[in-house]
Structure 1
């Protein structure tokens, strides 16, 4: 896209309706830079949400776009292969000027965007919907946005769904500020999981799709620490988290709750699907064990619970059910 945008920009600069600058611009940009997110590699926790947005809205492009002083930079991008574009061309630059959703049903009919190179050329934007992403202090850092190449509208329910997804992206950005990522494994810790999981559950309920919780606990982990040292135990925890990533889907939410306990929330997944993924996890763990030659084999106990509106009042109740099931299975293993 960059090779097309720049010549068009030079020819049509006088016609562009550039986004205004927010009144708190200096503070806003400083807050964005303080997060340390700009120009960092892709992360599954953001890519999971843009893929969800792409599938839910059936659009070719979904972005987590952060508005820097002179560019919009994409922390996650589905449907385009560039990492940034000029801020003066950005729809997201307009979106951060307001509190709510910024909707452009048909850019060719909107005087602000009709001459925009991104409308006239690649990626041929016609429809845009973006929800501002806020830092803890309310600074609007960017957007979660969905883009189509044909005109369209969003229903009230679709607008609410986009807000929910944006709230989940916000939680991931806030996670940087609140240190809700487990430093050892690189996945969410308990606090980060609880912040994100309830939003995920609400989204699944609105979309009327199943959601399933998997609770995992490593068997006989203490002897590994005792006999081989805590550094070895930390390596096991780190590698087990990687095996979770390899086994589960990119849209699933992972966390290390503490010690040797892990949890996964599966979006749009039945208990039967979760059980099939556990079989895959067991297989990749067996392969990992076969390559270690450490004098021990890592194993796990698990509990699986599919969300039930009657039995589970919230995400905490769902987690408790899966935890209870896990301990029931674990007690059978340790007899």
Structure 2
């Protein structure tokens, strides 16, 4: 017997066996993929149950699914439960049949004559079920009608039972497609956001790159022209950085750049925008800030750098210093003119000996 075959003994008939399909694990995985188990009652399915009950003139109608160890009802009319054990399920037999499964009189069928659903309340005597199958033909459950008296279905009723069973699966397929589409949209959105972040940031330091910072300045210039408070631009250049690369290698230089970016994140405010301008140059946009406050922030950065050995090699500590130029960003000048002014002040700091900060007067 295949390893994944489930044997469910029929109540009252110890010699009878109900063998679920050999592909049981695939069947259960398919059922799970529809996300229907243990969901609330829904009008779309309740309407189908009500309609088939009327067409078949049956007091009981059910949309049910055969889970691993239970029979669960998505929609039910005429029974007061939402699930039953698998070992007394008539539908567990139905999913083994290729077509409609009809039992005209359960008392006359040895598979069900001792079933407690037949011998006790609700005293089921008639059963007709149409398979609910996935696109691969795996049986997931049935749309079925039941009665308390022996009977049969006419040709029109049989056709309606199968047709409405197909409609149940159409509903389930449509809903699964919507979920898959939504999941794909969410995945694409996540990828798009990652691409936007990647395009906007410097790959080494994780700060904004030059292009993104220039776009930010354009937007902030408009805001300031419309009445927002002025800001301060700070242009920073790490001193003697070429010597670091030449003496210790680019891997040490890269470590110094990422370490410097981390120190900046700790020193500046969350509202301040940090960017790598290029090479060992960085720029900071400080909104709603005076030159005096910006100068204090720059001095805090100098102090923090003295406490961080960003280029320590072979246990020998290595200090890093910077030069900086600060200017007001008031909206009276263009972003390009403001950046040029900050760069001029930075150049002045470097020509005066480096490791110093120059503010515009």
Higher relative contact order (CA 8 A, sep 6+): 1
Normalised TM-score (structure 2): 0.46
Look at both structures and tell me which one has the larger radius of gyration over its CA atoms: 2
